[in-house]
Chains A and B, each alone.
Chain A
Amino acid sequence: MSAPTIDRATLEALKQTTGAEFVLELVDTFLQEAPVMLEDLRRALAAQDADKFRRTAHSLKSNSNTFGALTLGAMARELELTSASKVSEGGAEPLNALAQEYSRVAAALTALRHA
């Protein structure tokens, strides 16, 4: 899984169809929302709220794929398809890995913003 953090083609297509200005706005929204989602995942896992966990992973997957953050999307999908109880068997590890990948995505998107 050595896919790039951001798939340039996906992001380029997004710009083409919705406009560069708008994509910047959308990136800002994502950078605001994603940390909340990561936090929601941790809480849902601690509370063993399977529904909330699945739904949040689902949202993160969908948003990641929108920006071409395919690795993050795949990780989120993995969590969506695994029950919360199963995830917690791995301890904090899966969510830490997810947070790390998100940091890479956030850095890449922010760099793009200042490019």
Chain B
Amino acid sequence: MRELRSGPGRLLVVDDNKVNRLLLTRSLELQGHSVASAENGRVALEMLRREAFDLLLLDMEMPEMDGFQVLEQLGGDRQLRDLPVIVTSSLEGVETIVRCIELGADDYLSKPVNPGLLKARIGTSLEKKSLRDQQKELMRRFATPEVAQDLQTSGFSLGGKLVHASVMFSDIRGFTSLAESQPPEETIELLNTYYELMFDAISGHGGVVTLMMGDGLMSVFGAPVPLVDHGESAVRSAQEMVELVELFNVERKAAGKPPIRIGIGIATGEMVAGYTGTNKRATYTCIGDTVNLAARLETHTKVAQRTILIDQATCSALSERIAVEPLGPVPFKGKSNAVEVFAVDPGREG
């Protein structure tokens, strides 16, 4: 990523007039930027879709495709929507300038462009771009790509909607005593490796991790992005998690460390999914009976001595290739009726 405080950028100059194009390119190069140019909007869009630019300097009056059309196209393009645009033109009339800004231009400079003004405006635009890039990067790190995408397209608002999805809870068995028996650095290292493996298995099947608590993970399949076979995806993801932990244990054993074991509970049904918290600090999560049931099933893996437990709804959603064993009804705390519980063969199908 680019340094803050307006370091040099990669700029694209679009102008049908050769004198203007040469002059602007020269001014920008003298300010240390690397500059490419295009003679009309169509060529510019082709270049923007082919290579990455930090900023677009756009003339309005052009044959073939004018600046207004370029602004419209950029606004409708998910990849290019955030590209800063400075309109450089000698348009007559305030209303045309207003129209540029309304179409998404960041700034307007009238021609002939004053080099001092140009430098200042480009500096701020590049800085804004760099901040925007950092924000996106942070969002990618602290939210899942699905949630980040959802936030970018729909914006943030507290509140949820009813969705049909599968929820999975997982944790490491006997983690507390394991953590007490080794230095804290080793525990953090173990958790980091563990998380990396689990995240791969979960996102690889379309799941989204919504909560990390110590060694525990909550993930959802089917929200915020709908997933057709969320039940089966969750179970396949659970199987892969178990498989990856076994591989990890081979490594741990070779290093003289005790193996870890995990327990997983999955339930399927309706739940409320959305952003909860306050306007200052919020998280994407799912709430409802289905979620509680998944948590209970995960806890029950200790009692049942099984690795993966699922409910009736998840079981019904599975294809026959996944081996399932009915364990009969189990009375759970907070549930008036006993719940049918099924154990999934942790191994691969067949």
Contacts and interface: CB of A to CB of B under 8 A. Distances in A.
B27 A18 contact: yes
B30 interface: yes
Interface residues of A, number: 23
Interface string B92-121: 100000000000000000011001000000
A48 interface: no
Secondary structure type dominating chain A contacts:
helix
A18 B19 contact: no
B280 interface: no
Contacts of B23: 18, 26, 66
Contacts of B92: 77, 80-81
Nearest to B88: A62
A65 interface: yes
B127 to A, nearest CB: 23
A63 interface: yes
Interface string B15-48: 0111110110011001000000000000000000
A18 B26 contact: yes
> How many interface residues does chain B have, given as a range?
10 to 19
Contacts of A26: 19, 22-23, 26
Given A58-B90, A59-B17, A80-B92, A65 B27 contact: no
Contacts of A55: 61-63
Given A58-B90, A81-B92, A29 B61 contact: no
B26 A65 contact: no
Contacts of A77: 92
Contacts of A62: 17, 20, 90, 111-112
A29 B15 CA distance: 15
Contact of A59 (B26, B61, B112, B115): B61
A62 B19 CA distance: 9
A66 B20 contact: yes
| Max count, chain A CB within 10 A of own CB: residue among B20, B23, B62, B92 | B23
A17 interface: yes
Nearest to A81: B92
A10 B17 CA distance: 20
A17 B27 contact: yes
A54 B232 CA distance: 64
A77 B115 CA distance: 23
Contact of A25 (B22, B90, B111): B22
A93 interface: no
A100 B26 CA distance: 30
A66 B27 CA distance: 13
Contacts of A66: 19-20, 23, 111-112
A29 B19 contact: yes
A10 B114 CA distance: 11
Contacts of A12: none
Contacts of A81: 92
Contact of B18 (A18, A29, A52, A54): A29
A29 B22 contact: yes
Contacts of B62: 55
6 contacts: A17-B30, A26-B22, A29-B18, A58-B61, A65-B112, A66-B20
Q: Which 10 A-B pairs have the closest CB atoms?
A: A17-B115, A66-B112, A59-B17, A62-B90, A63-B19, A62-B111, A58-B61, A55-B61, A18-B26, A30-B19
Given A26-B22, A62-B111, A66-B111, 13 more contacts: A17-B115, A18-B30, A19-B30, A22-B26, A29-B18, A29-B19, A29-B22, A58-B61, A59-B20, A62-B112, A65-B112, A77-B92, A81-B92
